[in-house]
Amino acid sequence: MARSLAMEPDKCTGCLQCEIACSFEHEGVFNPARSRIRVFEFQHGRLAVPYTCTQCEAAWCQKVCPTGAIVLDDQLGAKLVRTEACVGCKACAIACPYGTIEYNPLSGKVDKCDLCGGDPQCVAACPTGAIAYMETSLSGTTVNTTAEA
Amino acid sequence: MRLQVKVTGHLVDYFADSETLLPDGATVEEALSGLGIPTDQVGLVSVNGVAVNKSVRGSRLLSDGDSLTVMAPLTGG
Amino acid sequence: MSWQRQILRVNLTDSTIRAEPLNMQWASDYIGERGLGTKYLWENMDPEAEPMGPDNVLIFATGPLTGTSASTSGRYAVLTKSPLTGAIACSNSGGKFGAELKYAGYDLLLVEGRAEEPVYLRIEDGDVSLHPAKKIWGKTVWETEEWIRQEHNNPMLKVATIGIAGERGVRYAAVVNDLHRAAGRSGVGAVMGSKNLKAVAARGTCGVSVDDPKRFMEVTSRMKDMLAGDRGTRGLTKYGTNAMMDTMQEFGGLPTRNFKEVQFEGYDKVDARAMLAIGADGHRNLVTNTACFGCTIACGRISHIHKDHFTIVNRKEYWHASGGLEYETAYAFGPVVGIDDIDACTFAGYLMNEHGIDPISFGVTLAAAMELFEMGVISTEETDGIELKFGNAQALTVMAEKTGKQEGFGEVLGLGSRRMCEKYGYPELSMTVKGQEFAGYDSRALQGMGLGYATGNRGACHLKHDTFEVDMEDQTGSGKAEPCKASQDWQAVVDSSGLCMFTMGAWGPEEFAEQLDADSEGDWTVDRMTESGERIWNLERMFNMAAGLTSADDTLPQRLLKDPAPSGTAKGRVNELDLMLPEYYRLRGWTDDGQPTTETLKRLGLG
């Protein structure tokens, strides 16, 4: 059964340990600028929202890719970038409505969340459980819209 | 015997009431365990406003109507 | 080694920007951040320079562990010569700016000279330039951050800036980064203003690497588990630093009404539980806790003010949430000025961040003004009709805004407590050491704390030593010199590491040594770090001595030496500084008049 990340922004403190862990996992250095997960802060820190690719069904990135570089790993339940096929044309980055696939000027390819092959490091690093890795049917961003005005 | 209790800082998570009942002749140390407050989380105890040093918690007897204050350890900030 | 091995030197007089190699010998001797910044200050300026003059140097220094996966790895320090004290200033801050400066490729930013016209510095990795700040001079901290991000179309820029207070030279103006984290004390913002430097904005994508990543990740995640498992630290997460207030009240060390008393009847209206209490209409002061970069404790507070409160009922622009009360801001706006209105205190806190002011210095200065007003020395003509009485919440918020914008009586308050009390002929009412106002701990109740206040290199401050445990256990002055000196040396180490001192409830020296050693190729041990801490403390002392301070400045106000504590567990006590100081000097290896001996300096490599 495919699993994916589920965010609980109410638990997020904006500490960025997820960004540190993700960049370390993929780049071997601490560099939030290269992290595939980003935390967005609103209203002076009142709300912090971790956000990354939801491995969505529509998969616009996959549809627009001219070289078929984005493939679905259905066992893992994630869209993965085959870097050898990627030509860095950025069509996917334009097509993705969530902005969670990004051109990397250093590699000339695009980066996106690959669920760390089934052991997401952002989940391991999060001190408050604001990012969970669960059955896809149960997940999806649970933004608590009743946050006190 | 009945004790007035005042707990400060995060210790309120262990005991939040303002009084407690303890067997007569209980010591400060027995009171602390009676309140469920782990001793490593206690900064200072005072009885009726007078500080009770760590070394004498085991021997200092309490009496009915005493007011026991249990203070969290102080850290920076 | 997570050093970028590069510093940025900016000369504002001739607008030159140069990257230079980091002096690795200094990094080895002084660890980083506070220690390294002190060494660069010592080597780059004359300690007798005028604090508000062009020859003063302003430094933004990161630590070796800043920007790494270690918990609380967001700390950086602003160092300069203080216009408030004439001594060294070393103000530590968190938020996101420090890590960003490191990620841009710089371990330290050194600013010298003075710009002809107001400027701000933009750092985007290797692309660094000075820009005219005409459009944002006179703007608040909050407006400045927003403007700079839009001006450069880069929402990821992290900004450290001053408000009007810094521009106008308020002696205790702060540098505020990330909207509500501050390098607050000693007037570092006034120095920035005196250089016509409005802000530093940084964005970094270089990243930081360590030599042995596997070991570093193993060590830092074990240390994070330690923090998560520590009950006291979990209390800090839930209640924030303001959990201190009811303990200080019960202990009898909570300075009240300009230190005339040590307990405050209204404490429970402005303490941590009051921030968590839910009112009848469902309003709660605390909105959420928040974290600085990399911090797994998240003791930061985000609060909001009740919509009907007099401070904001018709000021919609303040209806949003922002930084909430820390212990020091709650003390400085509550007990020390006799005020128990949590919304007024929270609003004053907003103004401190928005206008770039140190809340401790402001609150204690206002406390002295209130005492002078109640004595009839200050009249309502001078205070624009405001009754400066203890307990008057409106006086707090009106004067906070006036001081922020330097209007009316705000200009007098901007002098700081020492200069203001001297101006009115009552210097003894100034609760300061070396001109810096006291934090929220009374030296009659906490004897070792008093010794730390008196001997602190940046003046009265509660963060450069840690004698809490021994002070609570034993309310006399005996046996306090050694723990005070030892904690001063170790505190200098923690302040130089890039990590936060609020981890010290869970981490001991071994835990810091393990993380620092795992990060850099040098082999760091507790002993080597402790010796570096002592070296840092002595270099700060040498800077102060060269700046003209003497052991006469190692003192406390008469009120703490002569007027006994009127209540609390330390009732009837005064601070026993005369008993503690000689022993302290002896333990320091200093002469009777507080001068480091040549043997001590040689031992530390400072001779």
Residue A109 is inside which H or E element, if any?
strand A109-112
Indicate the SS3 state at residue B7: strand
What is the number of residues in chain C? 607
State how far the Cα of B39 lies from the Cα of B52, in Å rounded to an integer. 14
- Work out how many domains chain A is built from and give that number: 2
Tell me if C404 sits within 8 A of C398, measured CB to CB: no
Q: Is pLDDT at C312 greater than 80 in this prediction?
A: yes
Q: Do chains B and A touch (3 or more CB pairs under 8 A)?
A: no
Contacts of A27 in chain C (CB under 8 A): 207
- A44 to chain C: closest CA residue: C322
Query: CB contact, 8 Å: C300 with chain A?
Result: yes
Tell whether A13 and A44 lie within a shared domain.
yes
Single pTM value for the model: 0.96
Give C98-128 pLDDT, tens digit per residue.
Answer: 999 999 999 999 999 999 999 999 999 999 9
Please name every residue paired with B70 in a beta bridge, in sequence order, or none if there are none: B7, B45
Q: What is the mean pLDDT of residues C507-534?
A: 94
DSSP notation for A26-89: HHSSB-GGG-SSEEEEEGGGTEEEEE-----SS-HHHHH-TT--EEEETTTTEEEE-TTT----
- Domain with A25 in it: 1-52+114-136
**Residue whose pair of structure tokens reads 């608040």 in the numeric block:** C140
Closest-CA residue to C220 (of C331, C354, C64, C328): C64
**What's the pLDDT at A2?**
67
CATH of the domain at A80: 3.30.70.20
Tell whether A105 and A118 lie within a shared domain.
no
Check residue B73 and report its DSSP letter: P
State how far the Cα of C74 lies from the Cα of C102, in Å rounded to an integer. 10
- B68 to chain C: closest CA residue: C250
**What's the pLDDT at A1?**
62
What CA–CA distances, in Å, run from C89 to A134, C107, C220, C530, C546?
50, 19, 31, 21, 14
Contact A15 C322 (CB under 8 A): no
Instruction: Establish how many alpha carbons lie within 13 A of residue A86's alpha carbon, considering only the half-sphere containing its beta carbon.
Output: 23
Query: CB contact, 8 Å: A36 with chain C?
Result: no
Looking at the domain assignment, is residue B63 inside a domain? yes
- Domain with B16 in it: 2-70
DSSP notation for B18-39: SEEE--TT-BHHHHHHHHT--G
Spans of all domains in chain C? 6-203, 241-436, 442-603
Q: What is the mean pLDDT of residues C222-233?
A: 96
Q: Is pLDDT at A145 greater than 50 in this prediction?
A: no
State how far the Cα of C350 lies from the Cα of C355, in Å rounded to an integer. 9
Q: Smallest Cβ distance to A16: which of C210, C293, C300?
A: C293
Residue C44 is inside which H or E element, if any?
helix C33-44
Contact C273 B12 (CB under 8 A): yes
Query: CB contact, 8 Å: C391 with chain B?
Result: no
Give B5-64 pLDDT, tens digit per residue.
Answer: 999 999 999 999 999 999 999 999 999 999 999 999 999 999 999 999 999 999 999 999
**What's the pLDDT at A142?**
45
Query: CB contact, 8 Å: C486 with chain A?
Result: no
State how far the Cα of B69 lies from the Cα of B49, in Å rounded to an integer. 8
φ and ψ of C504, to 5 deg: -75, -10
Number of cross-chain residue pairs from A and C with Cβ atoms under 8 Å apart: 96
Q: What is the radius of gyration, based on Cα positions, of chain A?
A: 15
Share of chain A above pLDDT 70, in %: 89
* Chain B: partners with 3+ C-beta pairs within 8 Å: C
**What's the pLDDT at B77?**
52
Give residue A3's pLDDT band: very low, low, confident or very high (50, 70, 90).
Answer: confident
Looking at the domain assignment, is residue B77 inside a domain? no
Tell whether A62 and A15 lie within a shared domain.
no
Q: Is pLDDT at A143 greater than 60 in this prediction?
A: no
Query: CB contact, 8 Å: C176 with chain A?
Result: no
- Work out how many domains chain B is built from and give that number: 1
Query: CB contact, 8 Å: C226 with chain A?
Result: no
Q: Smallest Cβ distance to A43: which of C71, C213, C321?
A: C321
Architecture of domain C442-603: Orthogonal Bundle (1.10)
CB atoms inside a 10 Å sphere around CB C478: 11
Q: Residues of C numbered 494-553 whose beta carbons fall under 8 angstroms of chain B's beta carbons: which are they?
A: 501-502, 504-505
φ and ψ of C601, to 5 deg: -65, -40
Tell whether A8 and A29 lie within a shared domain.
yes
Token duo for residue B24: 């007569």
Q: What is the mean pLDDT of residues C322-351?
A: 98
Q: β-strands C6-11, C108-112: how paired?
A: parallel
- B54 to chain C: closest CA residue: C473
Q: What is the mean pLDDT of residues C425-430?
A: 98
Share of chain C above pLDDT 70, in %: 100
Contacts of C288 in chain A (CB under 8 A): 10, 13, 45-47
Burial A48-84 (b: 16+ CB within 10 A, else e): bbbbbbbbbeebbbbebbeeebbeeeeebbbbbbeee
Give C47-63 pLDDT, tens digit per residue.
Answer: 999 999 999 999 999 99
Q: Is pLDDT at A138 greater than 80 in this prediction?
A: no
**What's the pLDDT at A141?**
47
Looking at the domain assignment, is residue A70 inside a domain? yes
Give A8-30 pLDDT, tens digit per residue.
Answer: 999 999 999 999 999 999 999 99
Looking at the domain assignment, is residue A144 inside a domain? no
Tell whether A2 and A47 lie within a shared domain.
yes
Give residue A135's pLDDT band: very low, low, confident or very high (50, 70, 90).
Answer: confident
Q: Is pLDDT at C577 greater than 60 in this prediction?
A: yes
Looking at the domain assignment, is residue B38 inside a domain? yes
CB atoms inside a 10 Å sphere around CB A125: 24
Give C464-512 pLDDT, tens digit per residue.
Answer: 999 999 999 999 999 999 999 999 999 999 999 999 999 999 999 999 9
Looking at the domain assignment, is residue B20 inside a domain? yes
Indicate the SS3 state at residue C292: coil
DSSP notation for C87-120: SEEEEEE-TTHHHHHHHTT-SEEEEES--SS-EE
CATH of the domain at B23: 3.10.20.30
Q: Is pLDDT at A137 greater than 90 in this prediction?
A: no
Give C367-407 pLDDT, tens digit per residue.
Answer: 999 999 999 999 999 999 999 999 999 999 999 999 999 99
Tell me if A37 sits within 8 A of A130, measured CB to CB: no
* Chain A: partners with 3+ C-beta pairs within 8 Å: C
Give residue C2's pLDDT band: very low, low, confident or very high (50, 70, 90).
Answer: confident
Whether domain C6-203 has CATH 3.60.9.10: the reply is: yes
CB atoms inside a 10 Å sphere around CB C279: 9
Give residue A4's pLDDT band: very low, low, confident or very high (50, 70, 90).
Answer: confident
Share of chain C above pLDDT 90, in %: 99
Q: Is pLDDT at C251 greater than 70 in this prediction?
A: yes
Give A56-100 pLDDT, tens digit per residue.
Answer: 889 999 999 999 999 999 889 899 999 999 999 999 999 999 999
Give residue C424's pLDDT band: very low, low, confident or very high (50, 70, 90).
Answer: very high
Query: CB contact, 8 Å: C244 with chain B?
Result: yes
Looking at the domain assignment, is residue A142 inside a domain? no
Whether domain C241-436 has CATH 1.10.569.10: the reply is: yes
